[in-house]
Amino acid sequence: MRPTDAPLDNLHGGRKGLCLVLSAPSGAGKSTLVARLRAEFPVFAYSISCTTRAPRPGEQDGVHYHFVSRETFLSRREAGFFAEWAEVHGNFYGTPKEPVEQMIARGQDILFDIDVQGALQLKQVFPQALYVFILPPSREVLEKRLRGRGTDAEDVIARRMQNALGELKQAGHFDYHIVNDDLEEAADELRAVYVAGRARASSRPGLLPGLMAQWESA
């Protein structure tokens, strides 16, 4: 392939990576949709989070998590090191900002399967990302799905349903709403969001100048 025949994205800095951020109430089926998207697009990069909890058997530092002390985590948080962070069951978890920025610059796409709190924090740092909220078709269906798991006590189900209401109140901050009623349709819509996002002008800053340059050099 001659240089002038090469894809314009490759000739002029390449396509920038994008972040696809997914949130949903528990039981909405987000994990299933994420698994299907990853299976079709194995190009998604991983961002290794930091945590203050102890490693579990088989977990390796720098592979599964960056395991740090509570003092180190809090110091980094105050320094603006994290794109998002949360405290869960007494332990802190956070996504380092710089590695995500580096992956975007290299043209790598990143998929975040994250709670609403973390997604809204990410939006402050990466407003150009694609923010998708997965909705249940109805309150009744969501409760039926939670009960169908057969793993949660009544008080846990009640708490999850209450949390779902709070999360739905934040759904307006997301760019896309996908109702997971029919799985195939929901998966198609999520795929469409991602594929369209890859073609955004902001994701391909060198494409148009490169094309125009061919006229100038003709």
CATH code, domain with 72: 3.30.63.10
Supply the DSSP string of 148-163, one letter for each residue. HH----HHHHHHHHHH
Whether 194 and 165 share a structural domain: yes
Assigned domain for 129 exists: yes
The two three-digit tokens of residue 187, written as one number:
């998966």
Span 153-163, average pLDDT: 90
d(CA 141, CA 148): 10
The per-residue pLDDT for 103 is: 94
44-60: burial string, b at 16+ Cβ within 10 Å, e else: bbebebbbbeeeeeeee
Q: Which domain holds residue 123?
A: 19-44+109-199
Whether 145 and 180 share a structural domain: yes
The per-residue pLDDT for 89 is: 79
Domain count, the chain: 2
Assigned domain for 173 exists: yes
Whether 185 and 115 share a structural domain: yes
Q: What is the DSSP letter of 108?
A: -
94-105: burial string, b at 16+ Cβ within 10 Å, e else: bbbbebbeebbe
Assigned domain for 13 exists: no
Whether 185 and 141 share a structural domain: yes
Mean pLDDT of the chain: 90
Lowest-confidence region among 2-6, 19-23, 57-61, 98-102: 2-6
Give 61-90 pLDDT, tens digit per residue. Answer: 998 999 999 999 999 999 999 999 999 878
Whether 30 and 52 share a structural domain: no
Whether 73 and 181 share a structural domain: no
Whether 133 and 194 share a structural domain: yes
- Phi and psi at residue 83, to the nearest 5°: -80, -30
Give the rounded distance of the alpha carbon of 39 from its chain centre.
15
Lowest-confidence region among 32-46, 131-145, 202-216: 202-216
Give 42-59 pLDDT, tens digit per residue. Answer: 989 988 899 999 999 999
Whether 51 and 71 share a structural domain: yes
Whether 89 and 190 share a structural domain: no
Domain boundary among 108, 133, 153: 108
Whether 127 and 157 share a structural domain: yes
Nearest one of 164, 111, 160 to 138, comparing CA atoms: 164
pTM: 0.84
Phi-psi region of 58 (alpha: psi -120 to 50; beta: other; left: phi over 0): left
Assigned domain for 215 exists: no
- What amino acid occupies position 155? D
Assigned domain for 73 exists: yes
Confidence of residue 12 (pLDDT cuts 50, 70, 90): very low
Using DSSP bridges, classify how beta strands 91-96 and 50-51 pair: parallel, antiparallel or unpaired.
Answer: antiparallel
CATH number at residue 195: 3.40.50.300
